[in-house]
Amino acid sequence: MKLKLTVSIMIILIVFLAWRFIRPMNIFVVDDRFAWPVDTAQAPQSITGLAATDCGSCHQAFYEEWQMTIHSQAWTDPYFQRDWHFEDAQPACRLCHTPLDVQLPYKVVGYSDEDKWDPIVEENPSFDPVLQHEGVTCAACHYRDGKIVGVYGDTDAPHPVRKIEDPNQVCVRCHIVDGDRWDTFYRFPACGTVAEIQTGLAPRSAQNIDVRGSSGEVAVSETGVLGCVECHMPLVMRPLVEGGVVRASRQHLWRGGHNVEMVKSALTIEFAEKESQGQARRVFGLTVTNTGAAHYVPTGTPDRHLTVSLRLLDEGGEILSVKNHTLERTVMWRPLIVDLQDTRLPRGEPREYELEVGSDTGAVQVEAEIRYHLLAESRRERIEYENRTPIDYEVFRQRIPL
C-alpha cells in the first residue's frame, strides 16, 4: 500500500517536472500594479492629443530629451522586438512597454488565467499606431484619470493637473515586476529595480506602498526613499514652456545601462599592488565598489552583466594568462524558477579580485579590464538579434608595469 503511494507520487512528480521542462513557467506574475492598461478615455479637451509631439508643441525641451532616451524606444528598440517575438509575442510585455489603452491593438476586458498572461480581448477602435511607436511616452507617466500628473500643482497649465507628493511613485508601475507564487523562489523579482533598494531610511510623507520580494521580505515601504528621480532625472533650473517662469525642474534623461558614463558613475574602481610580498610573488588587487547606485549594479533584466578580466602581458602586449570573473544574476528558469546565484554588486560592499604574479612568468605588465554587457553573445545568437549598436563596452582598463 505504502509502496504504491510512493510510486504514484514519484510518477506525478516526474510528469510534473517533465511538463515544466516542455512548458516553462511564465517568468513573472502579472501584478495588479500593471495588469490593466492606462485608461485614456477622459483625455483633457484643452490639449490636442496625448502624443509626445502634442506635449512637445509646448514643452519642447522635455520632448527633445525624452526622444533621445530608451523610454521613447521601449516598443521600437530592436532588441526588445527580437526578444518579444522570441518569447511568442506575449501580450503581457505590452503592459509596460506600451502601457496606454490606445497603444494596444486590442482592449483588455479580463484575464482567463490566474497569472494574467492570457487576456480576454475585444476590438479596439481607438488603437493609435503612432502612439504605440512612442513606447513609454509622456502620457504613460503623466496622464491619470483625465489629468496631467505633476509635482507643482500651482502652475498656469492649460490642462488639468493632479499634484503628486512624490515623483518616484511614477516609476513603480513598471520598474517592479512581482513574482509572488508558491513555485517561484526569487530573492528579488526578475527585471525590477525597486525591490533591490532595501532601506531603513527615515520615512517621508510619501504614499505607502508595499513592495515585496517573493521570499516575503518588504524591501521598501515608501516610494520617497527610492530616489529614482534624484539619480535618473538630474535637477536643472529652467522654464517648463518657452518664456515661462524658471522653476526647479528635472531633465528627462533616464540614463542607465546604455550609457557608459552613467555606468562608470556607479562604480569606484581601484587597481594597485597590494602590500609587497617580495619579488618572488607579487599580488595585485582590483577593488570594485557600487558607490553610485542605490540598487544592484548591474540591475534590470538578468541579461545585464559585468565581466572582470585580470591579465598578464608580455613585452609585445600579448596576453600570457588571464583570470575572468562575471558579475551576474543566475536564474534557473525550468522546471521551477530558482534564483541560484547573484554575484552583482550591492550598494557599498567592496568586491576584491586578486592577481598573483610569480617571478618566472615573463610578464612585464598586469592589466585589469571591466566591461558592461547589455546581453550575452550566446543569447544574442540564440534569439538571432542582429545588433547594429554594440552589446558590450569598456568601463575600465588600466595597466601597471611590473
Contact region with ligand HEC (CB under 6 A), list: 205-213, 251-259, 279-287, 308-316: 251-259
Query: Residue 350 CB: number of other CB atoms within 10 A?
Result: 12
The least distance separating ligand HEC from the CB of residue 361, rounded to whole angstroms, comes to 35
The answer to whether the beta carbons of residues 220 and 198 sit under 8 Å apart is yes
Size of the site for ligand HEC (CB under 6 A): 94
The least distance separating ligand HEC from the CB of residue 32, rounded to whole angstroms, comes to 11
Q: List the x/- string, 323-362, binding to ligand HEC by CB under 6 A.
A: ----------------------------------------
Integer Cα distance of 162 and 156 in angstroms? 13
Contact region with ligand HEC (CB under 6 A), list: 3-11, 49-57, 275-283, 325-333: 49-57
The Cα-based distances of 84 to 77, 87, 107, 325 in angstroms read 11, 5, 20, 29
The least distance separating ligand HEC from the CB of residue 209, rounded to whole angstroms, comes to 11
- Which of 36, 39, 56, 346 is in the footprint of ligand HEC by CB under 6 A? 56
Could you say whether residue 310 binds ligand HEC (CB under 6 A)? no
The least distance separating ligand HEC from the CB of residue 45, rounded to whole angstroms, comes to 12
User: Measured at CB, which residue is nearest to ligand HEC?
Assistant: 150
Residue keyed to cell 522653476: 247
> 69-98: which residues touch ligand HEC (CB under 6 A)?
70-71, 73-74, 77, 79-80, 83-84, 87, 90, 92-93, 95-97
Amino acid identity of 356? E
The least distance separating ligand HEC from the CB of residue 199, rounded to whole angstroms, comes to 10
> 261-280: which residues touch ligand HEC (CB under 6 A)?
262-263, 265-266
Integer Cα distance of 266 and 256 in angstroms? 10
Could you say whether residue 179 binds ligand HEC (CB under 6 A)? no
Q: Which is nearer to ligand HEC, 247 or 397 (CB)?
A: 247
Q: What angle do CA 299, 305, 311 make, to 5 degrees?
A: 140
Instruction: From 106, 132, 107, select the one nearest 51 (Cα to Cα).
Output: 132
Q: Which is nearer to ligand HEC, 282 or 304 (CB)?
A: 304
| End-to-end alpha carbon distance in the chain | 73
Q: Which is nearer to ligand HEC, 77 or 273 (CB)?
A: 77
- Which of 104, 131, 138, 211 is in the footprint of ligand HEC by CB under 6 A? 138
Q: Which is nearer to ligand HEC, 73 or 214 (CB)?
A: 73
The least distance separating ligand HEC from the CB of residue 89, rounded to whole angstroms, comes to 9
Distance from chain centroid for Cα 392: 16
Contact region with ligand HEC (CB under 6 A), list: 180-188, 237-245, 271-279, 317-325: 237-245
Could you say whether residue 380 binds ligand HEC (CB under 6 A)? no
Q: Which is nearer to ligand HEC, 17 or 260 (CB)?
A: 260
Residues of 352-388 as b/e, b for ≥16 C-beta within 10 angstroms?
Answer: ebebebeeeeebebbbbbbebbbbbeeebeeeebeee
Amino acid identity of 184? T
Instruction: From 132, 106, 127, select the one nearest 52 (Cα to Cα).
Output: 132
The Cα-based distances of 196 to 2, 186, 188, 292 in angstroms read 46, 12, 7, 14
Integer Cα distance of 4 and 22 in angstroms? 27
- Which of 29, 108, 197, 363 is in the footprint of ligand HEC by CB under 6 A? 197
